[in-house]
């Protein structure tokens, strides 16, 4: 995948932090996915287990029941990603049409190698049920970067060719950690591995742009903050953004593509800001 891309979030769960319960019905989920594609989604990320802070694990059979019918119905119409931590779910999802494993555990590269699909390694310091208790870092940017590079290199050694890294905004991080990672996103981009960023509707955005009384902005009132941080991530070199609201993110991606193309055309012949990066693979 070359260029800048938008991954649309499709949670077929009852308890996801933002849209839990909205897309549990497979027909509704498929219709929503098709709407996201019409609005500009390049990838639809289907998840059957919430990984919000404090979330409890879901039985594998239940997770499969939620995701497989949706994947099968959408297969062939858009590139599909499976958001899971379970090897069995990942394998079944690939059989149903997924071509990316979006892995918050960063442990499933052997499955990606085995099945020949893409893989996203995300940073999360502990299980979602307790991860916010582990939001302690000496240098969050360096620690997250080094962890992800290690995982990406392991995956490449195993034979995975389509590798992405994701700093895991909101996963075992405080608001300050999230902002530091966004501010220094160039350090992740500079590794040469394609970077995916997801800030969509997350809690820290509700604190950055609070209600007039100082309380957290509710999930539904975080669109502007999401668009701002999404645009920032793209401007810093992120190659994919994961969002609930596809249309504004797709517009930001178009602007980012145009800006990069114009910048690249002004560089000396044979050089590009993308030198050393293959959007679908790792550092070379």
CATH number of the domain enclosing 64: 3.20.20.20
Residue 281 lies in a domain: no
For position 278, what pLDDT does the model report? Answer: 33
Query: Model's pTM, two decimal places?
Result: 0.86
Q: Is residue 49 part of a domain?
A: yes
Tell me, what's the pLDDT at 46? 97
φ and ψ of 79, to 5 deg: -70, 135
Q: Is 247 a catalytic residue?
A: no
Place of tokens 């797709």: 250
> Which domain, by its residues, includes 189?
5-265
Question: Beta partners for 101?
Answer: 82, 119
Domain-located, residue 80? yes
Question: 74: number of CA atoms within 13 Å, CB side?
Answer: 32
pLDDT tens per residue, range 161-177: 999 999 999 999 999 99
User: Is residue 52 domain-resident?
Assistant: yes
Tally the domains of the chain.
1
Residues 58, 210: Cα–Cα separation, whole Å: 32
Is the residue at 82 inside a domain?
Answer: yes
State residue 47's pLDDT score: 94
Whether residue 210 lies inside any domain: the answer is yes
DSSP 217: P
Angle at 218 between CA 213 and CA 224, to 5 degrees: 95
pLDDT, residue 275, reads 36
Q: Check 85, 86, 145, 202 and give the catalytic one.
A: 202
Amino acid 255: pLDDT: 84
d(CA 88, CA 59): 11
Give the model's pLDDT for residue 267. 42
Residues of the chain with confidence (pLDDT) below 50:
267, 269-284
Tokens of 237: 């070199």
Handedness of CA 128, 45, 60, 94 (dihedral sign): negative
pLDDT at 172: 93
> Does the annotation mark 183 as catalytic?
no
- The residue from 85, 145, 242, 260 that is catalytic is 242
Q: With respect to residue 270, please indicate whether it lies within any of the assigned structural domains.
A: no
Flag whether 117 is in a domain: yes
């Amino acid at each position: 995948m070359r260029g800048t891309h938008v991954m649309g979030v499709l949670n077929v769960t009852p308890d996801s932090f933002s849209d839990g319960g909205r897309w549990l019905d497979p027909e509704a989920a498929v219709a929503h996915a098709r709407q996201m594609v019409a609005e500009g989604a390049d990838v639809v990320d289907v998840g059957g287990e919430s990984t919000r802070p404090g979330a409890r694990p879901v039985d594998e059979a239940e997770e499969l029941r939620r995701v497989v019918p949706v994947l099968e119905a959408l297969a062939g119409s858009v590139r599909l990603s499976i958001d899971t931590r379970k090897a069995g779910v990942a394998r079944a999802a690939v059989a149903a049409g997924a071509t990316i494993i979006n892995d918050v555990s960063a442990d499933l590269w052997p499955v990606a190698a085995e099945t020949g699909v893409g893989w996203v390694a995300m940073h999360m310091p502990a299980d979602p049920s307790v991860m916010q208790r582990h939001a302690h870092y000496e240098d969050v940017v360096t620690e997250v970067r080094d962890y992800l590079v290690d995982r990406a290199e392991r995956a490449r050694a195993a034979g995975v060719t389509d590798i992405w890294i994701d700093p895991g905004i909101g996963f075992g991080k405080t608001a300050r950690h999230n902002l530091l990672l966004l501010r220094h996103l160039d350090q992740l981009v500079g590794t040469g591995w394609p970077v995916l960023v997801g800030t969509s509707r997350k809690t820290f955005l509700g604190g950055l742009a609070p209600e007039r009384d100082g309380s957290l902005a509710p999930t539904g009132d975080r669109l502007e903050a999401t668009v701002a941080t999404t645009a920032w991530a793209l401007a810093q070199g992120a190659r994919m953004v994961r969002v609930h609201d596809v249309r504004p993110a797709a517009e930001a991606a178009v602007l980012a593509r145009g800006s990069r193309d114009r910048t690249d055309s002004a560089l000396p012949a044979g050089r590009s800001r993308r030198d050393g990066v293959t959007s679908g693979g790792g550092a070379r």
